[in-house]
Structure 1
Amino acid sequence: MELRSFVLCNASGDEVCISNYGARLLQWHTQVGNEDRNIILGYSSLSEYLDDPFYHGAIAGPFANRIGGASFSIDNNEFKLQANEGKNHLHGGDKSISDQFWEIVAQEEQVITLKCELEDGFNGYPGAMNFWVTYHLNNDSSLDIDIKVTTEQATVVGPTTHPYFNLAGIESEASGHILQIFAENYTEIDSASIPTGEIVPVDGTPLDFRQPRRLDPKQSKDNLDHNFVVSRSAEESQAILISPDKKLQLHVSSGYPGLQVYTGKHLSGKFESSSGICLEPQFYPNSPNVDNFPFYLTTPEEPFSMRISYKLVKMVQQEETE
């Protein structure tokens, strides 16, 4: 299939670029005062995404994040997944939906829908699956990402989005972003980033972002790759990222119970470490194997459906009148 990209435009001057490879979010141009900012880290040519190991802008899954031991059980039947991160399974395994060519189902000026199919047993997942992703760029500078999955048998599903944000603009340093997360707790992890099963209060820890705090990726405490237990509903902002100059905010919300925050410490090659920040709504990592983590199977009778929303809020005018 031909590698292609598509542009969505709104009345506010935003332009969002989507690719049919991995249903990836490649660019998001927005006007901040008189300045055009592209706030999504990515490659300069489409073909470079074909060899991308960092999931730039991709839809990751069928189950995003990690599954410990690369296995899970459904009705006492164990399913062995591909182990692609040591002994564990990450982001659906190799050549999963992030590295598939998606079919364009429908496209309008502000909306595009893409579809991807996986065969039964792909990387160990039971049941043939169909994925639909719809990107809707609204006039209020919000981007709604609706994900739907149908399956032929009970299976584990929990995809997410994986853009690396730099609200200063990708030509600028990413250090100095301000982060606020509406979460009282996080899921404790072991040395392989697999949850221990413990849900731990953020109070008194470096992971307390209940009040806005400036990130310094040179400090180990801000090298984040952690799942937060969001305490707000899908109708509210569950996390807010603020540009270093405080002129642009990104509000994140979803119907998922968790939010993975990753500050890009493993980026390398064309990208400097910590040059972008991922805010990935999700089920908690390893949820299929942890009884006290919120999770549900996707079945033929109950398809998966989730909305992830990223909304830009511009503070330029307010600053100019202060």
Structure 2
Amino acid sequence: MELRSFVLCNDAGDEVCISNYGARLLQWHTDVFGQDRNIILGYSTLSDYLEDPFYHGAIVGPYANRIGGAAFSIDEQEYQLQANEGKNHLHGGEQSISHLCWELVAQEAQVLTLKCELPDGHNGYPGAMHYWVTYHLNNDSSLDIDIKVTTEQATVIGPTTHPYFNLAGVGESAAGHILQIFADNFTQVDDANVPTGEISPVDDTPLDFRKPRVLDPQQPKDSLDHNFVVSRPADESHGILISPDKQLQLHVCSGYPGLQVYTGEFLGGKFESFGGICLEPQFYPNSPNIDNFPFYLTTPEEPFKMRISYRLVKNQIEADTPAEHQRAVPAEKAD
């Protein structure tokens, strides 16, 4: 199947570009008071994504993030997964949904649906799987990402999306972004960044982002690759990222219980460290192996369904006012 890209446009002047390779978000152009900004970090050509080790903009899975020991059990039967990060399993393993060409199902001006399939046993996962992702660019500058998965037997599924955002605009430094996360707790990890099962409060830790805080790449405390336990319902913002000039906000929400925040410390190649920031809704990493983590199996009788939403808000922000209390200015339509 050939590499293709598709463009969605709305009445607010947003243009979102998506590839069939990994169902990836390639670009999101938005008008910020007369200035065009592409807020998603990516490559200049489609072919560059074929060698991408950083999951730029991809739908990752079957299970996003890490599964410790690259194994899990269902009904006392253990399944050994491909170990692609030391002894552990990351983002579904090699040549998974992030590195496959998806098939076009339908396209309209503001909606795109793609699908792909994984055979039984792919990278160790039980059950043939059928994936659909629908991108819907709304006129309020929000992007809804609906993921549906059916399977032929009980299996572990928990995909997410992996764009690197730079609200200053691609090519500008990501330093100085302001981050707010509505989470009272986070999951503790071992030396391999796999959760131990312990859930700890963010109080009096560097991970307390309940009030907006400026990210400084020179400060180790702001180098993030952590799962936060969100404390809000699915229809409210779980995290807010604000551009350094305070003119653009990105809100994220989902039906997932966790939000992984990654500040891109290990980006390389054509990209600088801290060049973009990921806000990835998810089950907690390693949930299939930890009884006290919220998780459910996908079965033939109960398909997996999840909506992830990113919404842009354009306004002037006073430095010390929480982002959730800002007065939004409607986005102007681009010429």
- The answer (yes or no) to whether the contact 2:314–2:328 under 8 Å persists in 1 is no
Letter aligned with residue 167 of structure 1:
L
For structure 2, list consecutive stretches of 5 or more residues without a partner in the other structure.
318-326, 330-335
1:76-95 aligned at under 5 Å gives the runs: 76-95=76-95
* DSSP 3-state at the match of 2:179: strand
* Residue in 1 that maps onto 2:258: 258
Measured after TM superposition, the shift of residue 319 of structure 1 is 10
Percent identical among aligned pairs is 79
CA contact (8 A) 1:33 1:316 kept: no
User: How far apart, CA to CA, are the structure 2 residues paired with 1:129 and 1:195?
Assistant: 26
Distance 1:21 1:39 in 2: 20
Is the 8 Å Cα contact of residues 32 and 316 (structure 1) preserved in structure 2? no
**1:213 aligns to what?**
213
Equivalent residue, structure 1, for 2:271: 271
Q: Is 1:187 matched up with 2:187? A: yes
Task: Name the aligned partner's letter for residue 294 of structure 2.
Answer: P
Distance in 2 (alpha carbons) for counterparts of 1:24 and 1:259 = 19
Query: Counterparts of 1:216 and 1:303 in 2: how far apart (Å)?
Result: 41
Shift of 1:269: 1.1
| TM-score with structure 1 setting the length | 0.98
* Counterparts of residues 38-53 of structure 1 (less than 5 Å): 38-53=38-53
Deviation by residue 1:108-161 (Cα, 9 ceiling, x = unmatched): 000000001000000000000000000000000000000000000000000000
Task: Give per-residue Cα distances to partners, 1:88-115, cap 9 Å, x unaligned.
Answer: 0000000100000000000000000000
The Cα shift of 1:236 comes to: 0.4
The one-letter code sitting in structure 2 at the alignment partner of 1:26 is: L
Question: What is the CA deviation profile of residues 58-86 of structure 1, one whole-angstrom value per residue up to 9, with x for unaligned ones?
Answer: 00000000000000000000000000000
Q: State the AA in 2 paired with 1:111.
A: V
* Structure 2 residue aligned with 1:308: 308
1:248 matched to 2:248: yes
Deviation at 1:218, TM superposition (A): 1.5
- Mapped to 2, the partners of 1:167 and 1:90 lie a distance apart of 27
In the alignment, what sits opposite 1:21?
Answer: 21
- SS of aligned partner of 2:50: helix
In 2, Cα distance between equivalents of 1:220 and 1:238: 23
Matched AA of 1:126:
P
Instruction: Look up the equivalent residue of 1:306 and give its one-letter code.
Output: M
Runs of 4+ in 1 over 6 A off after TM superposition: 317-320
Amino acid corresponding to residue 91 of structure 1 in structure 2:
H
Shift of 1:165: 0.1
Name 1:143's counterpart in structure 2: 143
Checking the alignment, whether the CA contact within 8 Å between 1:230 and 1:258 is kept in structure 2 is: yes
CA offset at residue 316 of structure 1? 4.6
In structure 1, stretches of 5+ residues that fail to align are none
CA RMSD of aligned residues (A): 1.1
Q: What secondary structure sits across from 1:240 in the alignment?
A: strand
- Tell me which residue corresponds to 1:170: 170
* SS of equivalent to 1:98: helix
Give the structure 1 partner of residue 113 of structure 2. Answer: 113
Q: Name the SS for the 1:47 alignment partner.
A: helix
Q: Which amino acid aligns with 1:156?
A: V
Other-structure match for 1:104: 104
Q: Distance in 2 between matches of 1:80 and 1:275?
A: 35
Amino acid of the structure 1 residue aligned with 2:173: E
Distance 1:179 1:84 in 2: 30
Give the Cα–Cα distance (whole angstroms) in 2 for the partners of residues 139 and 319 of structure 1: 15
- Contact 2:9 2:110 (C-alpha < 8 Å) held by counterparts: yes
How far has the Cα of 1:171 moved from its partner?
1.6
Q: Secondary structure at the match of 1:221?
A: helix
Q: TM-score, normalised by structure 2?
A: 0.94
SS of equivalent residue, structure 1 residue 69 = helix
Structure 2 residue identity aligned to 1:228: F
In 1, distance between residues paired with 2:89 and 2:233? 29
Residue in 1 that maps onto 2:320: none
In structure 1, what is the Cα distance between the partners aligned to 2:164 and 2:217?
Answer: 14
Distance 1:258 1:111 in 2: 26
